[in-house]
Amino acid sequence: MNKLLKIHKIFLYLYRYMRLLMYKSKQTKYDGKIIVYDTSLNSDNLGDEIINYYCNSIFKELGVQVERRLPTHTKPKMIDGVSATAPKVITGTNILSSKMESPILWDRVFENSVVDNIVLMGNGWESYSQNETMYTRKFYSKMLSKKFTHSVRDSYSQKKLKRMGVENVINTACPTTWNLTKEFCKQIPTKKGKKVITTITDYSKDMENDWYMLDILLSLYDEVYIWIQGEKDYEYLEKYHNLNKLRIVDRNLESYNQILGQENLDYVGTRLHAGIHALNYKHRTLIVSIDNRAREMGNDINLPIIERKNLKEELRDRLINPIKAEITIPIKNIELWKKQFKEASKDV
């Protein structure tokens, strides 16, 4: 049975690869309207909703009309009328993969016209990986728009694409950070607040360090809120020995925004975009890095992070001492990416 399954996968891969090879990419046509691969649709992670909140604000700023939205977490049910020539913007998230024939975070259809003329908007790689498959190299070569400049969230993702021959790609950082200018960050407090809101991550459990983080927060702050961002975060949290001392925030973005409306509040937690959202609300923030996403953005734009494996050695000192938000977003690249959408009447 396992042998038959392997043979089936090989034939499926070859079939998809041959179809991709034979497909003739269409030239991008842009008239001020776009199709959006909306990474928040059908998502069990409210971080995707945060990302798309900022992406939608950017579309509005640019005067771009979203003609249609397609999900990435589930296969689109209706693809009739999706033009191959229309620019299809993928909003944020670490959706890029070294195995595009079976990406982890994109439940895509394999009708090539539906993914022709993709435009990247602050996307990142799903995880650290080495070699890309032949299908992946051909997919990015054929399906990424040649006329638009693509935006990725970190230099790691940019290097991966350039290595595959995609030259029209720039590092803009994540769209959630595009408002975090030097002037904006000067308004973020540096001294510890009286209250803190935190997060944990159900798909990346580390009870020893996660519970240590919560214990430290309870010892240093008068009130500790915890926002349930992921679908199974609370199920994981129930195992924590001091659960009754935490103030649970409902699993929706409105509830999180209400807490962020308070003053004298810090953010310390493992959820990357919850932390960036807190920065946008001008809260002192320390993001606990658990994977490549926060780590690479920390390297590129000086996002305030701490590695989870270093919590026991560093967390208490980091929190009792000033934390400056000295974020350096690539403003020129951000403006370059935005500019290409502003002349809406022309084919780009």
Within-domain flag for 346: no
200 and 298 both lie in a single domain: yes
The answer on 156 and 224 residing in a single domain is no
Same domain flag for 51 and 94: yes
pLDDT tens for residues 260-271?
999 999 999 999
Contacting residues for 207 by C-beta, under 8 A, at least 6 apart? 239
What is the predicted pLDDT for the residue at 348?
45
Query: What pLDDT is attached to residue 274?
Result: 99
pLDDT of 101 > 50? The answer is yes
The DSSP bridge partners found for residue 96 are 125
pLDDT at 344 over 70: no
Residues 94 and 230 grouped into a single domain:
no
Q: What is the structure's pLDDT at 224?
A: 99
Neighbours of 212 (CB within 10 A): 16
- Tokens for 336, please give them: 């370059």
- Amino acid identity of residue 132, one-letter, is E
Q: Are residues 237 and 95 in the same domain?
A: no
Over range 17-37, report the average pLDDT: 95
User: What is residue 8's predicted lDDT score, i.e. its pLDDT?
Assistant: 76
Burial class (CB in 10 A: 0-12, 13-18, 19+), 252: middle
**Domain presence at residue 297:** yes
DSSP letter at 228? -
pLDDT of 39-94, one tens digit each? Answer: 999 999 999 999 999 999 999 999 999 999 999 999 998 888 899 999 999 999 99
pLDDT band at 129 (very low <50, low <70, confident <90, very high): confident
172 with 244, same domain: the answer is no
Q: What is the model's pLDDT at position 78?
A: 84
d(CA 65, CA 33): 5
How many Cβ atoms sit within 10 Å of the Cβ of residue 113? 16
Q: Give the whole-number percent of the chain exceeding pLDDT 70.
A: 98
- Joined tokens for residue 295: 């780590």
Q: Is residue 347 assigned to a domain?
A: no
**Same-domain check for residues 16 and 153:** yes
Mean per-residue pLDDT for 277-290? 99
**Averaged pLDDT for residues 212-218:** 99
Identify whether the C-beta of residue 124 lies closer than 8 Å to the C-beta of residue 273.
Answer: no
Whether 344 maps to a domain, the answer reads no
User: pTM higher than 0.85, yes or no?
Assistant: yes
pLDDT of residue 343: 67
Mean pLDDT of 176-185: 98
> Residue 315: what pLDDT?
99
Instruction: Please indicate, yes or no, if residue 345 is contained in any of the structural domains.
Output: no
Is 88 inside a domain boundary? yes
How are strands ordered across the β-sheet holding 305-307? 247-249, 223-227, 195-198, 265-269, 284-289, 305-307
What domain range includes position 241? 182-320
CB 298 within 8 A of CB 136: no
- For the segment 242-262, what is each residue's pLDDT rounded down to a tens digit? 999 999 999 999 999 999 999
Give me the CATH number covering residue 266: 3.40.50.1000
Query: Is the same domain home to 159 and 252?
Result: no
- What confidence tier does 1 reach under pLDDT thresholds 50, 70, 90? low
Q: Report the pLDDT averaged over residues 92-99.
A: 94
Considering the domain architecture, whether residues 101 and 41 belong to the same structural domain is answered as yes
Count of structural domains within the chain: 2
User: Are residue 214 and residue 148 in the same domain, yes or no?
Assistant: no
In eight-state DSSP terms, residue 250 is -
Residues 216, 158: one domain? Answer: no
**Token couple for 7:** 């043979």
Average pLDDT over the chain reads 95
Beta bridge partners of 71: 38
Query: Closest Cα to residue 321, out of 220, 188, 192?
Result: 192
pLDDT value at residue 72: 95
Comparing 328 with 2, the larger pLDDT belongs to 328
Are 104 and 232 members of one domain? no
Between CA 126 and CA 100 the distance in angstroms is 11
Q: Is residue 325 part of a domain?
A: no
